[in-house]
Amino acid sequence: MDTTQLKITGMTCGGCVNSVRRVLLAVPGVRSADVSLDQGTARVEFDPAVARPEQLSAAVVDAGFDIAA
* CA torsion through residues 53, 60, 36, 10, sign: positive
Pick the CATH number of 2-67 from 3.30.565.10, 3.40.50.920, 1.10.150.120, 3.30.70.100: 3.30.70.100
pLDDT at 10: 94
For residues 34 and 42, is the Cβ–Cβ distance under 8 A?
yes
How far, CA to CA in Å, does 24 sit from each of 20, 66?
Answer: 6, 14
69 pLDDT more than 90: no
At 3-57, the pLDDT tens digits run 999 999 999 999 999 999 999 999 999 999 999 999 999 999 999 999 999 999 9
